[in-house]
């Protein structure tokens, strides 16, 4: 899969990421490949819509992110508009999305250029809303504290059908790889929402917030709120309430063809909407949003077979449990050396030792 143009998303506050970006630029120059920095801002500067970033960058077919998972998510929102591949270079601390060490970025680019890699598909989310989302004047600094400037308000999707907006809401030009979160604005006012799955009311919740996550996002905020871990190869929607004031506080997992809608109830406080950790708007009582599986997945570059459970074991420090003492330094692999039995053909197993 030869590369024709590279887009760079860099965590400028990490020297390793800045040094890695120089390596990428030098490699691109040596191979005659265009390379441009995207999603760049300075203090006081504004940010651009994902489609504007793609157009300004000349339509990169590979986006390289250098940082942690937050930097990766910045690149993912842009790649989703161009069906570009994303290579996550790891300079973070607890990341699940970035796997390539920064010291190996040159080798990674060579492998991609030579076709010695594969693309792993990850489900994304799309959104509709009863009205266009926006952050009211004067609230941006509070909602986006420590995260840089806010992204511009989501625009309607270019291919939307104007007729359907009267009844089905406005389809927004926005995607989420991890999650869509609706949470309370004031400490003393919970958010109250009616949760509809596949068009039918599940329950009304009063809570600090509610999370709609992908399987990829199941290890992020949803996990911190008590949700389950799902294989990122799955296609499903994960609904997790955050500190609900009700006996039923469990996560509900919906099938991929079952959209979830959240209606802010009349007695609710105002609610903030964030997408992959970025504040995108405020909901008033009576507003609603709908979340469903996006038609196209994100394509992650993998240089070696994905090892999600090994990464889960490492990142969650499962090796620290006393019961793992017998593992030694290398975790065992349940994969006998003999031929694969006929009834196990087609299952995902590690290669034979």
- The residues that are catalytic are 69
The 3-class secondary structure across the chain, one letter per residue, is: CCCCEEEEEECCCCHHHHHHHHHHHHHHHHCCCEEEECCCCCCCCCCCCHHHHHHHCCCCCEEEEEECHHHHHHHHHHHCCCCCEEEEEECCCCCCCCCEEHHHHHHHHHHHHCCCCEEEEECCEEEEECCCCCCCCCCHHHHCCCCCCCCCCCCECCCCCHHHHHHHCEEEEEEECCEEEEEECCCCCCEEEEEEECCEEEEEEEECEEEEECCHHHHCHHHHCCCCCCCCCCCEEEEEEECCCCCCCCCEEEECCCCEEEEECCCCCCEEEEECCEEEEEECCCCEEEEEECCCCEEEEECCCCCHHHHHHHHCCHHHCHHHHHHCCCCCCCCCCCCCCHHHCCCCCCCCC
Beta partners for 9? Answer: 65
Q: Going by DSSP bridges, is the β-strand pair 288-293/125-129 parallel, antiparallel, or unpaired? A: antiparallel
Buried b / exposed e along 91-104 (16+ C-beta atoms within 10 A):
bbeebbbbbbebee
Question: In whole angstroms, what is the distance from residue 278 CA to residue 70 CA?
Answer: 10
């Amino acid at each position: 899969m030869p590369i024709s143009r590279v887009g760079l998303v860099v965590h400028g506050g990490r020297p390793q990421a800045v040094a890695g970006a120089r390596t990428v630029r030098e490699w691109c120059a040596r191979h005659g490949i265009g390379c441009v920095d995207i999603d760049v801002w300075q203090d006081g500067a504004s940010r651009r819509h994902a489609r504007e970033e793609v157009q300004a960058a000349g339509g990169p077919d590979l986006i390289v992110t250098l940082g942690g998972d937050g930097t990766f998510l910045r690149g993912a929102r842009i790649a989703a508009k161009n069906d570009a591949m994303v290579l996550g270079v790891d300079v973070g601390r607890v990341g699940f999305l970035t796997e390539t060490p920064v010291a190996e970025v040159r080798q990674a680019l060579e492998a991609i250029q030579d076709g010695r890699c594969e693309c792993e598909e990850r489900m994304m989310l799309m959104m509709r809303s009863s009205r266009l989302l926006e952050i009211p004047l004067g609230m941006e600094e509070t909602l986006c504290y420590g995260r840089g400037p806010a992204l511009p308000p989501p625009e309607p999707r270019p291919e939307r059908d104007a007729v359907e907006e009267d009844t089905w809401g406005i389809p927004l030009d926005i995607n989420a790889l991890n999650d869509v979160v609706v949470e309370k604005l004031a400490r003393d006012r919970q958010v109250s929402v009616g949760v509809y799955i596949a068009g039918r009311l599940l329950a009304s919740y009063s809570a600090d917030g509610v999370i709609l996550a992908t399987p990829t996002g199941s290890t992020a905020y949803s996990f911190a709120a008590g949700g389950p871990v799902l294989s990122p190869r799955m296609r499903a929607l994960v609904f997790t309430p955050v500190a609900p004031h009700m006996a039923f506080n469990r996560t509900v997992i919906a099938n991929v063809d079952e959209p979830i809608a959240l209606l802010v109830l009349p007695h609710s406080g105002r609610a903030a909407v964030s997408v992959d950790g970025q504040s995108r708007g405020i909901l008033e009582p009576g507003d609603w949003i709908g979340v469903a599986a996006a038609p196209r997945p994100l394509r992650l570059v993998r240089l070696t077979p994905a090892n999600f459970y090994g990464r889960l074991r490492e990142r969650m420090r499962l090796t620290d449990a006393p019961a793992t003492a017998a593992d030694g330094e290398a975790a065992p692999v349940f994969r006998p050396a003999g031929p694969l039995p006929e009834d196990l053909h087609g299952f995902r197993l590690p290669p034979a030792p």
